[in-house]
Structure 1
Amino acid sequence: MSDVSDWWRTAIIDMEPGRITFRGRPVQELIGNVSFVEMIWLMVRPDPPAAGQAALLEAALVAAVDHGPQAPSIAAARMAATCGIGLNNAMATGLNMLGDVHGGAGQQAVELYHRADTAETPLGEVLEDWIAEHGPILPGFGHRFHMPADPRAPRLLDLVDRAAAQGVCDGRFARIGRDIEAEIARRKARPVPMNIDGATAVIFAELGFAPPLARGLFCLSRSVGILAHAWEQTQQGGRNKGPTPPGYRWTYDGPPEG
């Protein structure tokens, strides 16, 4: 039996008929006493959050729930809903759009912040090394839609500053983020403000979440918007809606007919 019972090993949950515990805490003691954000933390990390830490994590999750049908993940979920599939399928369609390019900048920004935090070289050299490895786009800065600035980032950074003043976090990743922002502005001779990915990455780094968890947490947050849009589209109806109205056609650049 040990070969069978040890096939899967987990420190997250233990249960038997009539008993469920999460990291040693009975589920009935968690229900009604622990917030959903605190439960997320408890599931992915063994250390329970302090009240200020949970509030900061919640702020990051609230900020990233949605960015409208222009976001590929939201558009895909809405198109999927018009194909007659269920909400869970539509949600999975949208979530599966989240990867390195769409949805991955938060993880990449945390990795960049960590590199800057541990580097023995000046920040400018850290950025040059990053650009040499990953290309010219620095994750977490600038936005193709929100110009001159992403309205979510300053609010999140303000909350980090307040949390640091209260001892909830030490604020060093907020300083690193701002230093990178200043260095980019110096190089380009114009502001390139921190965006939502850079600001939530500051929070995830301040709270001690590993970079891959930054992406997972973003997916949790964005799944709320994906659910909302899939449900709204289901209520609106429509069948087999593509990315553009039927009267518009794509550009054909193949060989001529005949």
Structure 2
Amino acid sequence: MSDAQSLLDSAKAWWSTDIIDIHPGKIGIRGYPIQDLIGKLTFPQMIWLMVRGDVPSKQQAQLLEAALVASVDHGPHAPSIAIARMAVTCGVDLNNAMASGINVLGDIHGGPGQQCMELYEQIAAAHDGTRELADVADDVLGGFIGAHGKIVPGFGHRFHPIDPRVEPLLGLVANAASQQVVSGHYAAIGRAVEAALRRRTNKPIPMNIDGVTAVIFCELGFPPPMGRGLFILSRSVGILAHAWEEMQNQHRIKGPMPKEIPYTYTGPRDRKLSDQ
């Protein structure tokens, strides 16, 4: 083989993908011609096909869609939304504002769903059938709290005493389990964690949106890191809507508070620069 051919082969192999095959006049997604997918797959089905490689059933896609719908927005006080809106008032374009909001979806603001999935998976792995689920959840939760602190991702909410999104989503999981679309095992694990937290604290710490979407994503077989990615997809819709709304307002340089409300200065006062 010539050096030129070897170099060409190396260049062609530089990027490889199972996802898409593109040639002039041809676009194939996971082996399906794009023209066969347009108008036939829903967006949740397309998401599934892209990240999983197969087409989900209608019931699986509906459950995924419900989780995505429930997480799109939580108001302008949510940091990712507020940052996107503030970015718009600084004169940036829509894509920059969206990127600004998405970039803060880290371990605290965007990661609890993934962390909750990791907790659920630990419990599922430890529940081998020789012990009651409640006992396993209690033990694993204790280790999780010891390793990560008292705040358990997926439970409790700083704004909602009872998160209104939880019961409708759990109802959909129960219905899907009754049709054998999912096992229902992770829903039981989520409830077991909720009960274990109540026993530990002597007060209710209800499941929140991160905890219930973690149930759904685990039931559907997504790995925990994908849970964060799916949340980001969902919240991007809210970020887009708020950024666009703020663009219509045409405000300039809005900070986190109105200028009439001062921040708190905590440094030294009335210092003088001494002679050198």
Identical positions, percent: 60
Q: 1:80 aligns with which of 63, 78, 87?
A: 87
| 1:92 matched to 2:106 | no
Distance, in Å, in 1 between the alignment partners of 2:178 and 2:143 is 33
Distance, in Å, in 1 between the alignment partners of 2:58 and 2:77 is 35
| 1:34 matched to 2:41 | yes
Cα deviation, residue 119, structure 1: 1.1
Give the equivalent residue in structure 2 for 1:165.
178
Give the equivalent residue in structure 2 for 1:46.
53
Cα deviation, residue 36, structure 1: 0.7
* 8 Å Cα contact 2:114/2:227 also seen in 1: yes
Give the equivalent residue in structure 1 for 2:123.
116
Cα deviation, residue 188, structure 1: 1.4
Q: Point out the structure with max Rg over C-alpha.
A: 2
Give the equivalent residue in structure 1 for 2:62.
55
| Aligned-partner residue type, residue 25 of structure 2 | G
Report SS of the residue matched to 1:122.
helix
Report SS of the residue matched to 2:258.
coil
Distance, in Å, in 1 between the alignment partners of 2:215 and 2:246 is 34
Cα deviation, residue 103, structure 1: 1.1
Distance, in Å, in 2 between the alignment partners of 1:108 and 1:227 is 25
TM-score after normalising by structure 1: 0.98
Distance, in Å, in 2 between the alignment partners of 1:163 and 1:143 is 26
Distance, in Å, in 2 between the alignment partners of 1:207 and 1:48 is 13
What are the Cα deviations for residues 238-258 of structure 1, in whole angstroms up to 9, with x where unaligned? 101000001112111111122
Give the equivalent residue in structure 2 for 1:151.
164
| 1:192 matched to 2:205 | yes
Which of structure 1's runs of 4+ aligned residues deviate more than 6 A? none
What are the Cα deviations for residues 89-134 of structure 1, in whole angstroms up to 9, with x where unaligned? 1000000010000010100010000000011572211011111111
In the comparison of the two structures, how many residue pairs are matched? 257
Give the equivalent residue in structure 1 for 2:111.
104
TM-score after normalising by structure 2: 0.92
| 1:142 matched to 2:142 | no
Q: Give the aligned CA root-mean-square deviation in angstroms.
A: 0.9
Report SS of the residue matched to 2:22.
strand
Runs of 5+ unmatched residues, structure 2: 1-7, 128-134, 272-276
Distance, in Å, in 1 between the alignment partners of 2:196 and 2:222 is 25
Give the equivalent residue in structure 2 for 1:180.
193
Give the equivalent residue in structure 2 for 1:20.
27
Runs of 5+ unmatched residues, structure 1: none
